[in-house]
Structures are given as structure tokens and as C-alpha cells.
């Protein structure tokens, strides 16, 4: 959950934190399912915040790259 929140709050580094958060949340969900443990809601929240943070910064980085490419061609 912490990595998902940090991926939203920390610029540019949040992209990589979000990817790590997605991997760890997926691993946690698999472990919860296999061993019938609790914490499914927390793992889902972690996965959701990580996906939001990663997608936000992926779009932001894409916009920066495209704008630099457009201004470089002028």
C-alpha cells in the first residue's frame, strides 16, 4: 500500500515505485488466495493505487517526451 501511495506522490520515481507495488500486490493476492489468509482488501487497495500512480506517470512521461519531440523538430 505504501508503494502505491508513494507512486502517486513522488514525481518520476513514482513510475518505478508503482511497478514494484504492482508486482508485490499481485504476489500478495496470490499468497492470500493460496493460503486462505486475510488482507485481501489491503492488497486490492495496494494494487489499485499502484496502477493509478504508474499510469499517471506513464502518461506524464509520454507527454513530456512528445512535447520535447515536437519542439525539437521546430
Q: What is the pLDDT of residue 68?
A: 95
Q: What is the per-residue pLDDT for 31?
A: 96
Distance CA 65, CA 57 (A): 12
Average pLDDT across each block of 10 residues of the chain; the chain has 74 residues. List them in order: 92 92 97 95 96 94 95 86
Q: pTM (2 decimals)?
A: 0.90
Q: Say what the pLDDT of residue 25 is.
A: 97
The alpha helices in the chain, defined as continuous H runs, are 2-9, 13-35, 40-72
Amino acid at each position: 500500500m505504501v508503494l502505491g501511495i508513494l507512486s502517486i506522490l513522488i514525481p518520476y520515481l513514482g513510475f518505478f515505485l508503482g511497478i514494484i507495488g504492482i508486482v508485490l500486490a499481485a504476489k500478495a493476492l496470490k499468497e492470500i488466495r493460496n493460503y486462505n489468509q486475510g488482507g485481501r482488501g489491503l492488497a486490492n487497495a495496494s494494487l489499485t493505487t499502484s496502477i493509478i500512480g504508474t499510469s499517471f506517470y506513464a502518461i506524464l512521461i509520454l507527454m513530456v517526451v512528445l512535447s520535447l519531440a515536437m519542439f525539437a523538430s521546430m
